[in-house]
Structure 1
Amino acid sequence: MVLLVLLFLSAEMITEGVLSIVSTTATAAVSKRTECLPGYHGVNCDYLCSPNCGGDGTCRWYNGVCRNGCKAGYTGLKCDSTCSQNCGGDGTCRRSPSFCLHGCKAGYTGFTCEDACPAKCGGDGSCHIATSRCLNGCKLPGMTGFFCENTCQTGYTGQDCNITCPVGCGGDGSCTRDTAFCLEGCRAGYTGYTCRNTCSPNCGGDGGCGVLVPICKHGCKDGFSGLLCNN
């Protein structure tokens, strides 16, 4: 019976000794793996870290994740992806999730600068990175609105609002965007829907005449007669 107990204890001690040796060996192996030279990773330190790792170029031995961020222009945990070519400044972006750290180049918007600013933004075409609001006004003189999408400013007409309303438009000089129809009639001396025609030079007073039919509003100058003062 004593012999059996001794044998059992011996076996248990041997097992514990083996486990201790295995544990020590594993710990030593792990310790060895964590001592890769800068720029290497892997169980046997035989894999190169990404050449795009920042700082001293080191990465975690067990997964290759760059320890000190990425070089300018690269992103991702292993710095194996490039930042958007539209990132502003030195082109750097955050690793994960990726977004440009210094805004966008002129003409681009969005956190990754992959979206274009409104086509009619003025100046260098830049817009706000989050809202896409044009930062330098509008490209064409008649456009309005945060995105330069609204109707023409007073005095302009045309699809792109880059054509001035007829000089004969009355009031504030405004006209419709599609037909250039003067919204407040004509100035004295002009006639027609677009006020591009002139009244008779013989009209009296301020020289004004009707918009539809150019009848002189204030009679004729001395020596002339008729509705159009052409007699």
Structure 2
Amino acid sequence: MMTGFRLNLSPLKEPLGFIKLVEWLTAIFAFGTCAGFSGRNIISLFCGDGRNDTLTANFHYPFRLSLIPLIEGNTSLCNHTVSTTHLMGDASSAVEFFVGVGVVCFLYCMAALLVYLGYMHVYKDSDFGPILDFMVTAILVFLWLVCSSAWAKGLQNVKDATNADGIDATVAICKGSNITCAVTEFANLRTLNLSVVFGYLNMLVWAGNAWFVYKETRWHSQKFTSQSGPGRQQVPAPI
């Protein structure tokens, strides 16, 4: 059996190769829309004496909010001296897990496309290749479900920590009867919302791809043979 590299672009015209190319692109969109994100919320403090103060909540990937200072130490706000105050929460584990799964899928798609386009003759002539491909694909379907759900919850925590209620709970003077805190300018979280959408989209695409990879395994061929075998009718021998 020849095992050398043979460039053949025809697999890209078939579901097995075409979906892998789609997975490569959707993985880029998934981790690219959240990694490197940086946003800012402007908080206005309306003091009881008619004077206003302003706070800036800067947050960014990987969203370790508890390490991001909202107020520097001994700052005077509405005639009150406020000590160092940080945002609440930490969504780093969820978003880093999400980005990690995306990067792994990105690299695996590149490796799989290399096999499909250059070593498809070896891939189809062996049992190991399709079975390994199917098992990895099934695992990645599960990982996309888990990491997308975790990041969706983490993103909601980021939103809760940076909105008006979160700021009220974080800044002590916002709880005063004569001081009102309000978020007057919100960061654009559209790309973060898209990252969650792309996460679940990746899960669906990989789940669909699992069927086409399964068809390449011996499990599918054996099942097809066993189902078609009993249906055959014996032709009587000529007299």
TM-score by length of structure 1 reads: 0.21
Q: Which structure is higher in helix share?
A: 2
Q: Which structure is higher in strand share?
A: 2
Q: Which has the higher contact order (CA 8 A, sep 6+)?
A: 2
Structure with larger Rg:
1
